[in-house]
Amino acid sequence: MTTTFPQRQLGPFQVSAIGLGCMNLSHAYGAPVSAEQGERVLLAALDAGVTHFDTAALYGFGANESLVGRVLSQHRSRFTLASKCGMTGVDLKGDGQKVRVIDGRPETIKATCEEALKRLNTDVIDLYYLHRWDKQVPIEDSVGALSELVREGKIRSIGLSEVSASTLKRAHAVHPIAALQTEYSLWTRNPEIAVLDACKELGVSFVAFSPVARGFLCGDLTDVATLHEKDIRRAMPRFTPGNYAANLQLLQPYRAIAQEVACSMAQLALAWLLHKDENILPIPGTTSVEHLMDDLGAMNVRLSADQMSRLDACIHQGNVAGARYNSQGTSEVDTENFEAA
């Protein structure tokens, strides 16, 4: 049964305050779920009242866009569709094995969009992000290509992912940017350095991915040794055994606040973001309908100013062990970091 959730502005669109990040269904955290399970999660979100679905060409090297297109295209008028270009899978050796490549050249962006439209089974993508800024290509050139796609009616608005405030402003001078997406949660506060303020200044919506800290804030990942061998968290410093053991200690006061509020730990993480600013739109991902419904319940959680202050104090950039990305991942993003702030 569809519920009318609280709405927030996503560029020119009104969407549910919490959206669905679709990546987990096809990518990053181990073996993808079955097509049937992916369909269950997507339809459960739509039927519950979610109107913001976020995918990308990278996820499963096209498989996630294909899944979203197959399951949701017949309901296209009921939701806002976001996808991404600029980071895709490419068969460099001609052996059928694709590797992740960042490529922001205009011709690549346009070709990726054409492929995405086919996979998504739609005539237009509502919000199309540059997934990563290709630092070999001026941001003005990449955004210029996206603006041509807007003029051609293939996308309705432009987004950027993992960029700094200065890069956002450069891009916005070429064409209005509807949304900026980056990681934001209690344990990743980088957007607080400059990007959140820049978004408010320019009228850009802020989309928070990994809002439950890649599962950390849910409280049920107690042993990183249980992660799938292909889980991307294995390469992230915060999830190395020593750092993760230290980080688990931060959950004790956090869990106590969740119990005080009478909500789940995941709901508390999402409610913290929703209370931070009405310009913030979290997009948690999950492979479970049960977890999906729990996430959506965060929209009913109310936090006092004192509880918000205590949450800010219990988990933050000053007490989390480990960087969010390894050296390669750090080199690929353009976000501000606290060491350089």
> Which residues face 160 on adjacent strands?
130, 180
Query: Which of these is catalytic: 59, 129, 184, 325?
Result: 59
Measured CA to CA, the distance from residue 74 to residue 84 in angstroms comes to 21
Average pLDDT value over all residues in the chain: 96
The pTM is what? 0.97
Measured CA to CA, the distance from residue 57 to residue 292 in angstroms comes to 23
Q: What is the CATH number of domain 7-214+266-301?
A: 3.20.20.100
How far CA 294 is from CA of 235, 268, 269, in Å, comes to: 28, 11, 12
Q: Which two tokens stand for residue 283?
A: 């997009």
Mean pLDDT calculated for residue range 162-175: 98
- For tokens 């962006």, what's the residue? 109
DSSP letter at 34 equals: P
Helix (H) or strand (E) holding 162: none
pLDDT for residue 3 is more than 90: no
Measured CA to CA, the distance from residue 115 to residue 260 in angstroms comes to 48
Mean pLDDT calculated for residue range 33-52: 98
Q: If pLDDT is split at 50, 70 and 90, which confidence band does 96 have?
A: confident
Q: Where are the domains of the chain?
A: 7-214+266-301
Mean pLDDT calculated for residue range 94-117: 95
pLDDT of residue 341: 44
Share of the chain above pLDDT 90, in %: 95
- 191, 257, 183, 184: which is closest to 219 by C-alpha? 257
pLDDT digits 0-9 by tens, 289-331: 999 999 999 999 999 999 999 999 999 999 999 999 999 999 9
- Radius of gyration (C-alpha) of the chain in whole angstroms: 19
Measured CA to CA, the distance from residue 218 to residue 29 in angstroms comes to 15
pLDDT digits 0-9 by tens, 224-250: 999 999 999 999 999 999 999 999 999
Q: If pLDDT is split at 50, 70 and 90, which confidence band does 4 have?
A: confident
pLDDT of residue 97: 86
- Out of 47-61, 85-99, 117-131, pick the least confident: 85-99
Decide if 59 is catalytic.
Answer: yes
